[in-house]
Chain A
Amino acid sequence: MVNANPQSHYVGPGLVQAEVTRTLSILVDNEPGVLARVIGLFSGRGYNIDSLTVTETEHEKHLSRITIVARGTPAVIVQIKHQLERLVPVHRVRDLTDEGVSLERELALVKVVGKGEKRNEALRLAEVFRASVVDTSLEHFVFEITGKASKIETFLNLLTEVGLVEVSRTGIAAIGRGAASM
């Protein structure tokens, strides 16, 4: 955080904070509208979401887990956390990045169309990235790849050269390292 005016300790003009990216794990009651509440909060208050995933994780307890990758200044991230905690169905919010424990994975399905040398190169790249072939014909592959978002990003960049036509990504699932649970 850079305080442009040491006389003043306010968030606001004069104080320049760099944006950071944080992975938040949110445990919620799986009740109707809960995702709309969370998303509405982000759009209503102008917060940025880079990735969002949600699924029921504990069926008997009706609990879902929402993983959000949010971008903002540290002050905004703290606001996001508090605003989320204010929502009635929210049990807990953890900033996995801040706690330094974030384990993050994403899955992508990637379609590549091409013939000849491009097709061979696509297959070689898939091997290098440990992507598996889940569907194929003589002129296309569908690869499945899992890993950190950055790895998927690199894979996709390379594939653009060899016939990438379609991508479907799950968004990030994240969990804290170590024995402690949420």
Chain B
Amino acid sequence: MARQMTGAEMVIKALADQGVEFVFGYPGGAVLPIYDELFQQEQVKHILVRQEGGAVHSAEGYARSTGKVGVVLVTSGPGATNAVTGLTDALMDSIPIVCLTGQVPTHLIGNDAFQECDTVGITRPCTKHNWLVKNVNDLARVIHEAFQIARTGRPGPVVVDIPKDIQFATGNYVGPSNIGHKTYKPRLKPEAAGIRDAVELIASAKRPVFYTGGGVINSGPKGSQLLREFVRLTGFPITSTLMGLGAYPAADKQWLGMLGMHGTYEANMAMHGCDVMINIGARFDDRITGRLDAFSPGSKKIHVDIDPSSINKNVRADIPIVGDVAYVLEDMLRVWKAKSPVLDKPAHKAWWKQIDTWRAKKSLSYKTSSDVIMPQYAVERLYELTKDRDCYISTEVGQHQMWAAQFYRFEEPNRWLTSGGLGTMGYGLPAAIGAQVAHPKSLCIDIAGDASILMNIQECSTAVQFDLPVKVFILNNQYMGMVRQWQQLLHGNRLSHSYTEALPDFVKLAEAYGWVGMRCEKPDELDDAIKEMINIKRPVIFDCRVAQLTNCFPMIPSGKAHNDMLLGETTDEEVGRAIGKEGKVLV
């Protein structure tokens, strides 16, 4: 039965009915009625961020680490525009976010009113869908629809823009049941023919490789579990994109490590040389494929994706399968087990032997040092000293992000929070905060760069207010390392504005926020310092001073193919010559 209430009451009621525990937000004039309702109840808790951009990244960290929808509440105008980067980030990485924005009252819309902006216009290209609610009787339905659309199909961010008069108006509330959308019906179950063809092709492969992505994580724990079962059943090698790390355990012997621009040699060579590629929930992004016309030239490709527009977008699929990863794998496993195919064991043995020779290159090796902390070493030690704990790792964007992906090993899904598609500096700290909100007892660490961390440093204050003992582990090389590396590769080592001068004293900065600040400069002091950090029950900034000019290897230079990688022993001159004219225009 419909119940009468105000729009603002409806917002809170709808959130509660959707099972929302936490909202990340920041108040302002156009959302005051909703904040007043928040104040008068206890079911939905509000985490006050320090900038709206932080709210969206925190909601992303919350969503990514729980599989639930992250919820954001911001005011009109600047509140909404500050959220745009986070929304775009969530769209690129398929993270479910419901963002509620206040708007000026309906009669003022279009008048350039104070703090008015065209929120639905601005966020249209960076959301999966958005709504401007002009009738209070639509509000509850729209919010429930928003959750449904954010969560299902290929997940993504949505915006509900609510004018202030609608928040005050009284109308009918409807509950979350009976929300059946007329047009929005994502396809979850795959067609049987595709599954049959795929199983046949997989069974006949001589040099197969699984290439998996964020879609496996988005499919939920069942997706990862079925992937593990299927991959082990076949005995085939498996690699994953940055977004898919953790879906398959890194400790397993079939695991080749991450692929792509900074992926391992064995993963990229296996992709290049395979005869059957089994893409599960990845999208042939340009960081993965390198030069398209030389990408895995001899293979037949199976592409499983929930989004039909991902298929044949960059790379032609021989067997396209549209569906949710868990449904697809369930069907594949059933057909596989029923068929119990005879595999070409000798061919697979030869393939693994080939892979072992690639592995023997040890593409992640680096020059060790006893004087300075190598950044790779710092991540390795961090991993060794935290691997037995219940950990969530986020990152900012840059070299440290790639080293984290290479050297921190993930055994489970949802433990790795990083900005992949958009590559947003400033993501890691708020994301760690969001993960910590969801998992108060876990160890949430942001592996950061000295430049990136300053992009959302204000969120330190949020962590203090809500007793969130997050750790920020800065690989401080005093450069925008990734920019510097590209300038060396592309621009004759002219380091234009990539040195981060006038960095703050991170220890004092931590203390100013009420955090604990630590610094470490010597490799032989690193272990003790990391242990100390872990044991501190408060938030910590760990300023880890690392070798300044280290490059991130291996690397597929832009415009090159998978079998054209730069490895760790590359000299500076070779680095300078590696990219041709065509590659330079690529990013």
Contacts and interface: CB of A to CB of B under 8 A. Distances in A.
Interface string A30-62: 001100110010001000000000000000000
B132 A32 contact: yes
Contact of B313 (A29, A40, A79, A90): A79
B292 interface: yes
Contacts of A85: 308-309
A101 to B, nearest CB: 23
B577 interface: no
Contacts of B312: 11, 75, 78-79
Interface string B314-349: 111000000000000000000000000000000000
B292 A13 contact: yes
Contacts of B314: 11-12
B131 to A, nearest CB: 9
A14 B182 contact: no
Contacts of B311: 82
Contact of A12 (B120, B149, B184, B293): B293
Interface string A1-36: 000010111111111000000000000010011001
B183 A13 contact: no
Given A8-B293, A12-B293, A86-B307, A37 B315 contact: no
B295 interface: yes
B129 A8 contact: no
Given A5-B293, A10-B295, A88 B125 contact: no
Contacts of B492: none
B183 A88 contact: yes
A89 B315 CA distance: 28
B184 A88 contact: yes
A82 B305 CA distance: 13
Contact of B297 (A8, A32, A40, A86): A8
Nearest to B309: A82
Contacts of B183: 29, 88-91
Given A79-B313, A88-B183, A36 B293 contact: no
Interface string B109-129: 000000000001100110011
A120 interface: no
B294 interface: yes
Nearest to A62: B182
B517 to A, nearest CB: 44
Contacts of B294: 8
A143 B183 CA distance: 41
Given A8-B294, A10-B292, A88 B121 contact: no
B315 A11 contact: yes
Contacts of B184: 88
B293 A14 contact: yes
Contacts of A14: 293
Contact of B292 (A12, A29, A79, A90): A12
B124 A88 contact: no
27 contacts: A7-B297, A8-B293, A10-B295, A11-B292, A11-B314, A11-B315, A12-B292, A12-B293, A13-B292, A13-B293, A14-B293, A29-B183, A33-B124, A33-B132, A36-B121, A40-B124, A75-B312, A79-B313, A85-B308, A86-B307, A87-B129, A88-B128, A88-B149, A88-B181, A89-B183, A90-B183, A91-B182
Task: Enumerate the 5 nearest inter-chain pairs by beta-carbon distance, A residue then B residue, closest first.
Answer: A12-B292, A82-B309, A14-B293, A88-B129, A13-B293
